[in-house]
């Protein structure tokens, strides 16, 4: 599933090609996504001019100039957006095109169709999918003090606690596992039994892991123009994610796999306590 860095890289990759552009045509090839494509989307979008793109958690927001309305995109499990030129033949699973006046085409691709695009009238931040979200992990609203305060009395394991969007948004399975390794915290530990000092380290580790992923994503921006549009999970040297049974890069012990919150979690029993 595309996580926060992948969605942020998508935003940065497509923004220069769509912001300020007028939509002249909308092509819907497959309307049955996770949410049905709105029936009136073509009427609403043709002639509209795209404003400045933003991201909230794993959602991409596309506002329009001169009216309080936005498109809300979610890439689901396998969705991607890329820029192609007018006339380029669609691939299988290319479900939706927004054609710009200058000939650029924003094309949505989603083999599993778990993503969606939805029309939001009015203030997008008041939409129920966005209004209850916690702070962005790279914002001033997220720190160790918040994690410590929200964890008191919680028996939930710290890894699913960290992945709760009401606590902090966008820290998915990969980056939660990597941050907990950097902070030296066992993902199985009860969230309420972790000290303020250790949460301070964990918040810093979350910032470090996500910032590094976003920075490395900058090298893939060319893939959004005439390419696959899929940033993937960057060429990172992951410490624990997906490395069950391999040696820990820090101490050499075999990494272990457990299931937490129905998600696979790999950790080092020596370095994470």
Task: Provide the annotated binding site.
Answer: 93, 112, 154
Say whether 3 is catalytic. yes
**Beta-bridge mates of residue 25:** 99
Say whether 58 is catalytic. yes
The binding site for DNA comprises 93, 112, 154
Which of 128, 126, 146 shows the shortest CA–CA distance to 137?
A: 146
Residues in CB range of 81: below 8 A, 6 or more apart: 10, 14, 60, 73, 75, 106, 107, 108, 109, 224, 229
DSSP 35-93: SBPPTTHHHHHTT-BB---EEETTEEEEEETTEEEEEEEE-TTT-EEEEEETTPPPPTT
DSSP code of residue 155:
-
Would you call 156 exposed, middle or buried from its count of C-beta atoms within 10 A (0-12, 13-18, 19+)?
middle
CA distance 241 to 256: 10
Catalytic residue, candidates 56, 58, 82, 198: 58
Catalytic residue, candidates 2, 5, 63, 187: 2
CB 19 within 8 A of CB 89: no
Catalytic residue, candidates 188, 201, 207, 263: 263
CA distance 45 to 271: 53
CB 70 within 8 A of CB 63: yes
Catalytic residue, candidates 3, 6, 178, 230: 3
**The tokens 């992951």 sit on which residue?**
238
Q: What are phi and psi of 267, to 5 degrees?
A: -155, 170
Which of 250, 181, 249, 248 shows the shortest CA–CA distance to 209?
A: 181
**Looking at the annotation, which residues are catalytic?**
2-3, 58, 263
């Amino acid at each position: 599933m595309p996580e926060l860095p992948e969605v942020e890289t998508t935003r940065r990759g497509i923004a220069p090609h769509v912001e300020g552009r007028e939509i002249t045509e909308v092509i819907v090839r497959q309307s049955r996504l996770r949410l049905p494509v709105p029936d009136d989307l073509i009427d609403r979008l043709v002639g509209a001019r795209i404003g400045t793109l933003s991201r909230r958690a794993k959602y991409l927001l596309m506002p329009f100039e001169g009216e309080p309305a936005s498109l809300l995109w979610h890439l689901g499990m396998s969705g991607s957006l890329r820029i192609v030129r007018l006339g380029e033949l669609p691939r299988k699973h290319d479900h939706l095109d927004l054609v710009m006046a200058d000939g650029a085409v924003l094309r949505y691709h989603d083999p599993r169709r778990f993503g969606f695009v939805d029309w939001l009238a009015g203030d997008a931040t008041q939409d129920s999918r966005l209004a209850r979200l916690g702070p962005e992990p790279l914002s001033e609203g997220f720190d160790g003090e918040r994690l410590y305060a929200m964890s008191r009395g919680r028996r939930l394991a710290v890894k699913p606690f960290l992945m709760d969007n009401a606590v902090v948004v966008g820290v998915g399975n990969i980056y939660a596992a990597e941050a907990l390794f950097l902070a030296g915290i066992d993902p199985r530990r009860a969230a309420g039994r972790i000290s303020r000092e250790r949460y301070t380290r964990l918040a810093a580790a979350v910032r470090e892991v996500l910032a590094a992923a976003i920075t490395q994503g900058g090298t893939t921006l060319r893939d959004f123009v005439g390419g696959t549009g899929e940033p993937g999970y960057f060429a990172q040297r992951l410490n624990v994610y997906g490395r069950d049974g391999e040696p820990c890069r820090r101490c050499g012990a075999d990494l272990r796999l457990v299931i937490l919150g129905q998600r696979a979690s790999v950790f080092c029993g020596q370095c994470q306590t």
